[in-house]
Amino acid sequence: MRGLYATTALAMLLGCGSVTAPAKEQVAAAKVDAAADNWAVKTEAQMTDEERFSLLHGFMPIPLGPFANPELQAKWPKDVIPGAGYVAGVPRLGIPSQRATDASLGVTNPFGVRKGDTATALPAGLAIGATFNPELAFAGAHTVASEARAKGFNVLLGGGINLVRDPRNGRNFEYISEDPLLSGIMGAEAVRGAQSAGVVSTVKHFSLNSNETNRHTWNAEVDEAAHRESDLLAFQIAIERGKPGSVMCAYNLVNGHKACGNDHLLNTVLKRDWRYRGWVMSDWGAVSGADFAVKGLDQQAGEQLDKQVWFDAPLKAMLADGSLPRDRLSDMVRRILRSMKANGLIDAAPAPAVDMAAHAGIARQIAQQGIVLLKNDGNALPLAANVSSVAVIGRNAHVGVLSGGGSSQGLPPGGWSASIPVGGGEGAIGAWRVERWFAGAPLAALREALPKARVGFDPGLYPQDAAALAARSDVAIVFVSKYEAEGFDSPDLSLPGNQDAMVEAVVAANPNTIVVLETGNPVAMPWRDKVKAIVAAWYPGQEGAAAIADVLTGKVNPSGRLPVSFPASTETLPRPAIPSYGTPENTHVTVQMNEGSDIGYRWNARQGIKALFPFGHGLSYTQFATGGLRTDGTTASLTVRNTGDRPGASVAQLYLVSRGGKAMRRLVGFQRVELAPGSEKAIRMTIDPRLLADWNGAGWTIAAGEYRFALGDSAEMLSAPVAVSLKRRVWSD
């Protein structure tokens, strides 16, 4: 982490993996909250209804393709910045316009609407999750948000908190993990990091937007307890710790009601039970009625993607006929105003200059810490310093690193070294499906890192050619990739094209084969047992090539841990096939979330299934001994020792493994720790009681009984459990 604070000068107070925010910070936050509430009430009272309604809806300022509307464009206010969103302000009262940009992985430039405008492009959300490092989640989001602010934006449409329920979901690369604690804690730090730059952060997509297939008509049927204990818990932790100014509701339906017009989700869970004080904005094109306002939606965003601007004339009519209570109108406006005030958008000082070199450094740190070493037989990695010949194999390894597509797609300062339209899908989403490779090629990075070696290249188009190069090299490094994008799921976990055949041919020619995955999801690896080493690099961002070379050559000791399970096969998933996959867009489908709150590793534990690689798994070039677990069920203490001969980082993981004699698996604490060889560190974790409890319909219940906890190198590699007897406890949120 050295150098991280030097440039960003942030005072980061963290309670890694635990749930209590530091007391001093809470007091300061309460003051800001109270001042923001008072200002919002005072300011709203001075507004005309016309001004009130103007804050409740906004459009997508993209004058191109399917979004173009010359008539409206002629009326665009002067301070519009082309991008994801714009909501007019009220200059008379000092309320600025809201200028929104996507998102969690970098400030985007959709369809190149701001010619040549680039921004730091971070690795995938799953890479950020794999760091298990809340400080890096904070720093990454601060990086993105400070660039957003410097470009004139004041609302960031990130980050994505949805849990990875289905490893074929095309947007998983934007999300953090399959686990509510990990996503909640990392998501909270991302929110805090973004908002510390003076912009509003938005958590999304609330809730259960777990697949892209028929995303507007997908109805997720979920049991209330299961929902509260999984996806909702991730949002709840992120919201209570991070205090995002805004929450974006999802496209899909939850239990029969559209998420953006879902009274239960928005009014009961978010606003009543969690006492959320910010505003709910819609996803772009997710609103189908003005009545969504009484169901808890505060703002219709990206309105030209909806059939109507519901939150203007139709909502005014509801106010006139009494079906929109005046109090609710005031509440909608105040929520928006208080979040703008609390996050420094009112009377904002000019944006500080950004240090792009420092930001590139943060992108590189995330990539370095997010890369997961899945397998390393016979210490094939790191590459020997005296390796004389290396075969670099794989499509585009000579060009760049892959990124994910859709609204989160970034354009880094180095640009795209390849842009390959994939096509398929209808309308704007189809046009968005373009494979983009960030400049900075693994081939060049490896040649630079291994100046004495002969580093050859084969694109892997023909297995025979790849095998021939591998046969005459000391080691073969095969780059395989799978493109994922918003709007699309994958039918299965396979690597597309002939990549599996190519890996098989290479490893047959040279057993000293290392595979590097550039994927936005877990993938199947039929050749897993044959190759020596496997490295999951995800979509590694603009500094990805250098980070991959750092890890392969040992300059960086890998420390990433899987934030998602790599399934043994699609047959082991709660839904072996994606419901309604392949049907025409907007086919209605109801999906029973029969896994309940047991997602990913929890599902595997419940079913007695072993993963291909489990959640929490990740190797290092050194070894660690984690032990000495003591817990009373509220806190836990343990030690981690580096027993190897290199500095490295480990992630201590604590799991609940049984309750009242019934086996189960839940991550209840984690902490990343850096250790010099031979050194040891004592760690203390606070256990969030919700992770031990069941949702009882009105709150949480911890049943009296025996609770067993175990340390894990992964969700499957567990040490001997420690048993604790807990008393019954019942409480509400």
Residue whose tokens read 């997710």 = 286
> How many Å apart are CA 301 and CA 74, to the nearest integer?
20
> How many Å apart are CA 396 and CA 8, to the nearest integer?
34
> How many Å apart are CA 679 and CA 677, to the nearest integer?
6
* DSSP result, 178-239: S-HHHHHHHHHHHHHHHHTTTSEEEEEEETT----TTTTTEEEE--HHHHHTTHHHHHHHHH
284 binds ligand BGC (CB under 6 A): yes
157 binds ligand BGC (CB under 6 A): yes
113 binds ligand BGC (CB under 6 A): no
> For residues 216 and 575, which CB has a smaller minimum distance to ligand BGC in the complex?
216
162 binds ligand BGC (CB under 6 A): no
Please identify which residue in 51, 135, 283, 598 interacts with ligand BGC, judged by CB under 6 A: 283
Q: Is the dihedral of CA 546, 186, 107, 310 positive or negative?
A: positive
Please identify which residue in 58, 59, 62, 102 interacts with ligand BGC, judged by CB under 6 A: 102
Closest CA to 467 of 512, 530, 509: 509
Cβ count near 271 (within 10 Å): 19
- Shortest Cβ 215–ligand BGC spacing (Å): 8
- Shortest Cβ 572–ligand BGC spacing (Å): 29
Using DSSP's 3-state secondary structure scheme, residue 577 falls into: coil
Strand order, beta sheet including 416-421: 400-402, 434-439, 416-421
517 binds ligand BGC (CB under 6 A): no
Please identify which residue in 103, 493, 533, 652 interacts with ligand BGC, judged by CB under 6 A: 103
> For residues 102 and 178, which CB has a smaller minimum distance to ligand BGC in the complex?
102
> How many Å apart are CA 435 and CA 484, to the nearest integer?
8
Identity of residue 174: E
- Shortest Cβ 246–ligand BGC spacing (Å): 11
> For residues 62 and 181, which CB has a smaller minimum distance to ligand BGC in the complex?
62
Identity of residue 113: V
Distance, C-alpha 149 to centroid of its chain? 21
- Shortest Cβ 478–ligand BGC spacing (Å): 33
> For residues 122 and 693, which CB has a smaller minimum distance to ligand BGC in the complex?
122
Any idea which residues carry the catalytic annotation? Answer: 283
Any long-range contacts for 655-658 (C-beta under 8 Å, 24+ apart)? Answer: 655/709, 655/710, 655/711, 655/712, 655/715, 655/718, 656/691, 656/692, 656/707, 656/708, 656/709, 657/708, 657/709, 657/710, 657/718, 657/721, 658/706, 658/707, 658/708, 658/721
Q: Per-residue contact track with ligand BGC, 543 to 582, x per CB under 6 A? A: ----------------------------------------
Q: Based on C-alpha coordinates, what's the Rg of the chain?
A: 25
CB 1 within 8 A of CB 647: no
- Shortest Cβ 534–ligand BGC spacing (Å): 31
Q: Per-residue contact track with ligand BGC, 429 to 468, x per CB under 6 A? A: ----------------------------------------
- Shortest Cβ 55–ligand BGC spacing (Å): 18
176 binds ligand BGC (CB under 6 A): no
- Shortest Cβ 298–ligand BGC spacing (Å): 16
Say if strands 279-281 and 434-439 run parallel, antiparallel, or are unpaired.
unpaired
Residue 290, phi then psi, degrees to nearest 5:
-70, -25
306 binds ligand BGC (CB under 6 A): no
- Shortest Cβ 174–ligand BGC spacing (Å): 8
Residues 658-695 as b/e (b if ≥16 CB within 10 A, e otherwise) read bbeeeeebbbbbbbbbbbeeeeeeebebebbbbbbbeb
> For residues 102 and 489, which CB has a smaller minimum distance to ligand BGC in the complex?
102
> For residues 83 and 616, which CB has a smaller minimum distance to ligand BGC in the complex?
83
User: Site size for ligand BGC, by CB under 6 A?
Assistant: 9
- Shortest Cβ 84–ligand BGC spacing (Å): 4
User: Which residues from 202-261 bind ligand BGC, rule CB under 6 A?
Assistant: 204
Please identify which residue in 407, 473, 512, 620 interacts with ligand BGC, judged by CB under 6 A: 407
> For residues 157 and 383, which CB has a smaller minimum distance to ligand BGC in the complex?
157
> For residues 405 and 563, which CB has a smaller minimum distance to ligand BGC in the complex?
405
Which residues would be at the binding site for ligand BGC (CB under 6 A)? Answer: 84, 102-103, 157, 204, 283-284, 302, 407
